[in-house]
Amino acid sequence: MVREFCEAMAPRATVLTGRCLSYGEGITYWPLMEMVRQATGMSADESAPEGRRRLRELLEKVNNVTGDAAAVVDGLAPLIGLGGAEVGAQESFWAVRTFLAAIAEKRPLIVWFDDVHWAEPTLLDLIEHVADWSREAPILLLCLTRPELLEERRTWGGGKLNATSMLLQPLSEERCQRLIRTLMGSNDLDPALVSRITDSAAGNPLFVEQTLAALVDDGLLRREGDRWIATGNLGSVQVAPTISALLAARLDRLNIHERRVLERAAVVGQRFYLDAVVELSAPADRASVAEHCLSLVRKELVHPDHSDLPGVEAFRFLHVLLRDCAYQATSKRQRADLHQGFAGWLQARMAGRPGEHDELVGYHLEQAYRYRVELGLRDAETAELGRQAATCLIEAADRVRQGDETGAAGLLKRAIKLLPVTDPLRVRAEIDLGWALYSFSRFSDAERMLRQATERATRIGEAGLRAHARLAHLRLMFATSPEGLVAETLGEATRALPIFVQDGDEVGAALACRSQAAAYMAAGCYALAERAMQAAVRHAEESGVLRDAQATRRDLVHLLSLAPRPVGESIERAQRALAGVGDDRGLRRSLLAQLALLHTMTGDVDTAVDHLARAEEIIWDVRSSRGDPLYGGFVVARIALLTDDLDTAEHELRRSCRRLARMGERAHLATRAAALADVLVKLGRLDEAATYVSRSRDAAAGDQVPAQAGWCGVHAKLLAMRGRDREVEAVRFAEAACDLAGRTDDWDAQAQAWLTYAEVLYRTGQVDMVRSKVDAAVACYEKKGNLTGAALARRLPDNLSGSA
């Protein structure tokens, strides 16, 4: 029905079609890959550079995409097997949405997703994203699915704007009979037979079609001209009670050669390749496979289909139930051999191509392994099959991770189950799974996986893997249980770095340096953190893993405003980096945000506003709420505090605290909660401020110096504002805040601590000591080049006296 609709619309609209596969996680964006190939004319055997060129040329023809064409290509390419570096799920969604809108510029676009019940959650999220954010573009999204999808996506059944659902009801008795008459071109069939077919079909048109086809197979119906006539008495014909029984009966009527072809095709999948079926057949049968395929087409069991492999004919089972029935007809041993054979054929056919077929190869090897295990064949060949399958699944997980972290985790879980506990490859997969779980905030699961990987790597004597697992575990613990981890992380990273260097493991070396940087940041030693992060960038770039290099460069950018050097020098560094940023939109966004903050410090508000607007343009364009909860909102809050915009500062910090608390993250929550408490004090909401002081104190580790200084300072203010009986304690906490800030090399934090001390002294009646503390704060701000902060500091005494 949908195909007929699309064919009718083809003269007036562009139609792109893509089919979700049933092979499990890892083929998330397969339908999108099919659509891009249709839109660009790209063939499956084209190289990645050629495919990217075709995609860029298509986009550059559309006026409103010209400036973003390269960014769209960078976002799309990794999803569809054309390589590239990590851009993040939101950037990927933006790229897909922009690509579809570009196609729709020429004429309306129909995007047909078939078999959506097999879609991965990330693809469903993408479809929703396009539906929600492309309302101005003439795009019709058509999704064919089984009703059970609505159990997972209830809003797809209603409640979404500009969206509707159509439930295909069973055919009525009258329509079933009309279908029979239409298919047969005659009203002469025995009414009793028509009634039996109608009753058994229960409104299922496939049952009607297959029942009539079975009568043809048995020679009870014969075509004469444009109609079918009965060749005998049809009154005694038995009608199968179920569709499964009916399909099984039809397959039983095939000759042995046709059945073998169908069984081999069923192992390949719903769509199958003629060459693959030839390869899977016995040598003596290969010459006749094409002939038998045509016979199956004539019997309406399979149809010719478009092929995604150049020069290879493809066919498709008339219905997935036919494929399932043919598959079940084979023994487990046959299935094991056929899955293994098809995996070999696919590997040979796709040699030298990008890795979008890794998961398909892995799936078929995985099935071969599982059937052999079920048969009790736990020999060396079976173990090797499992390892080959796991290798493919791990490679597929690495490829899809940037666009579908959930799918990557699923692939890694499947790989782990195929490997013995003593296999280093399993430990590697467990580490990768730990990182994946960490990335979407499943901290307890990630902690268990990484602890287990560390123990296993230690037992099997793999020092490099043990270092990887331990540093990953410490990174997670920094987020959830950071107490005492600064020294331990520095020790582990320092011991691991020479091991990684000796092994030529640049990815590991980058991890060790990033771990050092994280520990130094927790201690407030930002110069050392920046130096360690610069080393991490060098190692990541040497590794050739673009995803790691990009992520590390972005982490380095966050230190621009914290490192102990004049603001002007940081601006120059940021501007040089921005000039060479290329098409990395995430890095561009981070640099623009840092430049906005740095220019705010200098007092150049107009330039700061321009940079922030450009950063937010990227952020909102990808439907990301001002970046991640760790940095994006905090940068905006810092800018708002410098411009005395307390409402914006409160909004950003509250949102960041809420998200971090929901994640179960503690390290960043400690600093954000302290900052929010300070804003609430300025807004006069003291009780609420006290709540966030408590949250900061509870979350902060003893060696997390900036966070300790933060909550101590706000607590000192609250004590000073709540009565004379707390004056001594208030001064003590203010002094502690200054002492703690002094242990860091964050000049802004030192200035803020001095200002807190000045305010506490003022409120406790020690007015004559206020000026010296304010002068100390101004000196820190001027050393930094934070002229806006210095100006705010100078106004503090007047503000305090005005509010008294």
The model's confidence at residue 772, banded by pLDDT at 50, 70 and 90, is very high
pLDDT digits (tens, 9 = 90+) for 306-363: 877 777 899 999 888 888 899 998 999 999 999 999 999 988 887 766 556 788 899 9
3-state secondary structure of 624: coil
Contact (Cβ atoms closer than 8 angstroms) between residue 508 and residue 472: no
430: nearest Cα among 403, 461, 400, 457: 457
Q: How is the chain split among helix, strand and coil, in percent rounded to 5?
A: 70, 5, 25
Mean pLDDT of 203-217: 81
Q: Do 41 and 153 belong to one domain?
A: yes
Rounded mean pLDDT, 203-232 = 76
pLDDT at res. 804 = 53
Is pLDDT above 50 for 624? Answer: no
Angstrom CA distances, 226 to 211, 212, 378, stand at: 19, 15, 58
Token representation of residue 154: 């209830």
User: Are 60 and 71 within 8 A, CB to CB?
Assistant: no
Say if 319 falls within a structural domain: yes
In this structure, is residue 122 part of a structural domain? yes
pLDDT band at 233, cuts 50/70/90?
low
**H-type helices in 443-582, by residue range?**
443-459, 463-480, 485-503, 506-523, 526-543, 546-557, 567-579
Do 338 and 403 share a domain, yes or no?
yes
DSSP, residue by residue, 214-243? HHHHTTSEEEETTEEEESS--TTPPPPSSH
- Please report which residue ranges of 253-331 form alpha helices under DSSP H: 256-268, 274-280, 289-298, 320-328
Kindly report the pTM of this predicted structure.
Answer: 0.80
Residues 264 and 280 in one domain: yes
Residue 686, both tokens: 């003291």
| CATH code, domain carrying 304 | 1.10.10.580
Query: Do both 148 and 10 map to the same domain?
Result: yes
Distance CA 305, CA 314 (A): 5
Q: In the Cβ-directed half-sphere of 537, how many Cα atoms lie within 13 Å?
A: 13
Residue 620 has pLDDT above 50, yes or no: no
Total domains in the fold of the chain:
5
More confident residue, 458 or 131: 458
Looking at the domain assignment, is residue 525 inside a domain?
no
pLDDT beyond 90 at 153: no
Confidence label for 235 from pLDDT (cuts 50, 70 and 90): low
Does residue 233 sit within a domain? yes
Whole-angstrom distance, CA of residue 222 vs CA of residue 231: 7
Do both 259 and 312 map to the same domain? yes
- The lowest-confidence range among 47-61, 190-204, 547-561, 725-739 is 190-204
**380 pLDDT tier (thresholds 50, 70, 90):** very high
Amino acid 125 reads D
| pLDDT: which is higher, 365 or 75 | 365
Residues of the domain holding 78: 2-157
Whether 231 shows a pLDDT value over 80: the answer reads no
Given strand 302-305, what is the order of strands in its sheet?
271-273, 314-317, 302-305
The whole-number pLDDT of residue 587 equals 87
- Region 632-656: mean pLDDT is 90
Q: What is the CATH number of the domain that holds 786?
A: 1.25.40
AA identity, residue 747: W
Q: Are 530 and 518 in contact (CB under 8 A)?
A: no
Q: Specify the amino acid at residue 65.
A: V
Does residue 760 sit within a domain? yes
Token pair 């054309």: residue? 82
Structure tokens at 724: 């004379």
pLDDT tens readout for residues 78-92? 777 777 655 667 778
Tokens of 93: 């969604």
Tell me the C-alpha distance between 66 and 271, whole Å.
37
Shared domain check, 765 and 742: yes
The token pair at 234 is 């049809």
pLDDT of 543 strictly over 60: yes
Residue 511: inside a domain: no
Query: Who contacts 111 (Cβ-Cβ below 8 Å, separation ≥6)?
Result: 16, 18, 35, 100, 130, 139, 140, 141, 142
**Cβ atoms of 110 and 142 closer than 8 Å:** yes
User: Could you tell me if 93 and 187 lie in one domain?
Assistant: no
pLDDT over 70 (residue 623): no
Query: Among 562, 592, 589, which Cα is nearest to 574's?
Result: 592
Which of residues 329, 355, 373 is at a domain's end? 329
- Cα separation, 714 vs 116, in Å, equals 53
pLDDT band, residue 792 (cuts 50/70/90) = very high
Instruction: Kindly state whether residues 59 and 134 are assigned to the same domain.
Output: yes
Residue 315, number of CB atoms within 10 A of its CB: 23
Of the candidates 314, 329, 344, which is a domain's last residue? 329
Average of per-residue pLDDT across 61-88: 71
Greater pLDDT, 740 or 46: 740
Structure token pair of residue 784:
């930094």
**In the predicted structure, residue 24 carries a pLDDT above the cut 70:** no
The torsion angles phi and psi of 422, rounded to 5 degrees, stand at -90, 0
Neighbour count for residue 219 (Cβ, 10 Å): 9
Whether pLDDT at 139 is above 60: yes
End-to-end Cα separation, the chain, in angstroms: 77
Does residue 739 form part of some domain? yes
84: left (phi over 0), alpha (psi -120 to 50) or beta: left
Mean pLDDT of 229-257: 77
Provide the 8-state DSSP code for 769.
Answer: G
Nearest partner of 281 among 262, 303, 298, 296, judged by Cα: 262
C-alpha–C-alpha distance, residues 772 and 430, integer Å: 56
How is residue 278 written in tokens? 């030839």
DSSP 22: S
Rounded to 5 degrees, φ, ψ at 775 are: -60, -40
DSSP 186: -
Q: Taking Cα atoms as reference points, which of 311, 309, 322, 303 lies closest to residue 353?
A: 309
Q: Which residues contact 193 (CB under 8 A, 6 or more apart)?
A: 234, 235, 237, 239
Instruction: Yes or no: say if 616 and 652 are a contact pair by the CB < 8 Å rule.
Output: no
Mean pLDDT of 96-125: 89
Average confidence (pLDDT) over 773-790: 96
Helix (H, G, I), strand (E, B) or coil at 331: coil
Closest by CA to 165, choosing from 137, 143, 188, 192, is 143
> What does the pLDDT look like over 49-62, one tens digit per residue?
888 888 888 888 76
With 0-12 CB in 10 A as exposed, 13-18 as middle and 19+ as buried, what is 357? buried
Q: Render pLDDT for 257-292 as a digit per residue (tens, 0 to 9).
A: 999 999 999 999 888 999 999 999 999 999 999 999
Q: Model confidence over 393-407: pLDDT tens digits?
A: 999 888 777 667 788
The single-letter code of the amino acid at 784 is K
Are 129 and 16 in the same domain?
yes
Find the farthest-apart pair of alpha carbons in the chain and give their distance in angstroms, rounded: 117
Q: What is the CA radius of gyration of the chain?
A: 33
Same domain, 706 and 768: yes
Provide the pLDDT for residue 180: 82
Instruction: Pick 69 or 579 by higher pLDDT.
Output: 579
For residue 526, tell me if it sits in a domain: no
Do 16 and 149 fall within a single domain?
Answer: yes
What's residue 370's pLDDT?
Answer: 95
Segment 221-228 mean pLDDT: 72
Specify the CATH number for the domain of residue 104: 3.40.50
Domain end residue (candidates: 373, 403, 419): 419
Judge whether residue 558 has pLDDT over 70. Answer: yes
Give strand pairing partners of 317.
302
Displacement of CA 504 from its chain's centroid (Å): 29
Same-domain status, 371 and 293 = no
Mean pLDDT, residues 168-192 taken together = 80
Output the average pLDDT for the chain: 87
